[in-house]
Amino acid sequence: MPVLGPQRQLLSALNSTSPATPRLGLATNQTGPQCLEVSVPEGLFLTLGLVSVVENVLVVAAVVKNRNLHSPMYYFICCLAASDLLVSVSNVLETAVMLLLEAGALAPRAAVVQQLDDAADALTCSSMVSSLCFLGAIAVDRYISIFYALRYHGLVTLPRAWRAIAAIWVASILASTLFITYYHHTAVLLCLVSFFVAMLVLLAVLYVHMLARACRHARGIARLHRTQRSTQQGFGLKGAATLAILLGTFFLCWGPFFLHLSLIVLCPQHPTCGCVFKNFNLFLTLIICNAIVDPLIYAFRSQELRKTLQEV
């Protein structure tokens, strides 16, 4: 199967669009309405990928360097950064190779290009699955630290964290192998979409519950110290804003990609769904943007990690 720029093999057989010149405009569908098609310039795609690579390398380096960060929470954050790093590296490398092939700087050999495409597809798929899993692991870790604070160090131990990390990586590799091998089956796409919905529900339930607990705690402190009501409202708004950023970023960056998969199952031949398929490169770009935003949300807010980064 030919490589289509930054597009993945998992969907390239079902997606007839290919990278075009940078533009934002209306594309006419032969059998349906006009479509708003957003083409992402290869230069922008590569730049975002490189920014993501630098950010996530710094997070991994900081966690490895500072022994104070050798705890389950930071190991989960480190693994999330490693997953995002793999997503970015695989997309950047494949896009760069395609640009070199198009420019004639590399001699195109079908077998080598196919092997590179298969490796990049497997790496991207496994890192996507592991990235979503580690987002869930971070949420569960924070939930336990809030609701079972006194038992946290007994429940979340380093051996258990390492077993969970190993299980996530193994499951991600197995899942990516199955997805790449049987990508043309509807069941594979349904499993991917179901997995995304399950992670979205898990994150929403855990973080909403944590926000409610924090608001109750703030009200108790306010009653104890007779703090003004405006302080309570300010805390509630800040917590709601943080929750909106966490869930909003997750849904905005990952939602379009899984919407694409859902529409392939529901309406692969419908003209309106075809308009969505034309923006597949944009959806991959949003995933790269998520790899840029994740360190800002989960890692760089830590004072200890920022201090380590300054030393690095």
User: What is the mean pLDDT of the segment spanning 272-292?
Assistant: 86
User: What gap in Å lies between CA 297 and CA 292, rounded to an integer?
Assistant: 10
Determine the Cα angle at 26 with ends 24 and 28, to 5°: 140
- Supply the pTM of this predicted model: 0.81
Going from the C-alpha of 98 to that of each of 32, 195, 273, 274, the distances in angstroms are: 31, 31, 27, 25
For residue 63, pLDDT beyond 50: yes
pLDDT at 133: 92
**CATH number of residue 109's parent domain:** 1.20.1070.10
Q: What number is the average pLDDT over the span 180-209?
A: 86
pLDDT in tens, 207-219: 888 888 877 776 7
- The token pair at 192 is 């991917």
- Residue 197 located in a structural domain: yes
More confident call, 98 vs 61 = 61
**For residue 300, what are the CA distances in angstroms to 127, 306, 307?**
21, 6, 10
Range of the domain at 80: 41-220+233-311
Confidence tier at 233 by pLDDT (50, 70, 90): low
- pLDDT tens for each residue of 282-291: 888 888 899 9
Domain-located, residue 81: yes
- The distance of Cα 214 from the centroid of its chain, to the nearest Å, equals 27
| 17: in domain | no
pLDDT at 169: 93
Confidence of residue 20 (pLDDT cuts 50, 70, 90): very low
Q: Is residue 259 in a domain?
A: yes
Is 228 within a domain?
no
Q: Mean pLDDT, the chain, as a whole number?
A: 78
Rounded Cα gap, residues 9 and 13, in angstroms: 7
Q: Which two tokens stand for residue 307?
A: 């201090």
pLDDT of residue 9: 42
Question: Is residue 192 domain-resident?
Answer: yes
Confidence of residue 28 (pLDDT cuts 50, 70, 90): very low
Region 10-39: mean pLDDT is: 47
Residue at 12 is within a domain: no
Q: How many domains does the chain have?
A: 1
226 domain residue, yes or no? no
Q: What amino acid occupies position 64?
A: V
